[in-house]
Amino acid sequence: MNTRMRIILITLLAMLCDFSMCSVYATEAKLNPAQLNHLNEMINTQLKEQTDRNIVYSWTEAQRVAEFFCRPLAQTVIKKRLSTVDKVVLDQGNENEQRLISPTILEGNGQYRIGSDWTPFHFQCKISEKTGEAIEFNFFKRN
pLDDT, tens digit only, all 143 positions of the chain: 544 444 443 443 333 333 334 434 446 899 999 999 999 999 999 999 999 999 999 999 999 999 999 999 999 999 999 999 999 999 865 666 799 999 999 999 999 999 999 999 999 999 999 999 999 999 998 76
pLDDT tens-digit readout, 70-106: 999 999 999 999 999 999 999 865 666 799 999 999 9
Between CA 19 and CA 11 the distance in angstroms is 11
| Predicted local confidence at residue 25, as pLDDT | 43
- What's the pLDDT score for residue 106? 96
pTM: 0.76
Cα 124 to Cα 126: distance, rounded to the nearest angstrom: 7
- CA-to-CA distance for 132 and 82, rounded, in angstroms? 26
CB 106 within 8 A of CB 69: yes
Q: How many CB atoms lie within 10 A of CB 57?
A: 11
Each residue of 3-20: b (16+ CB within 10 Å) or e? eeeeeeeeeeeeeeeeee
Give the largest CA-CA distance in the chain: 62
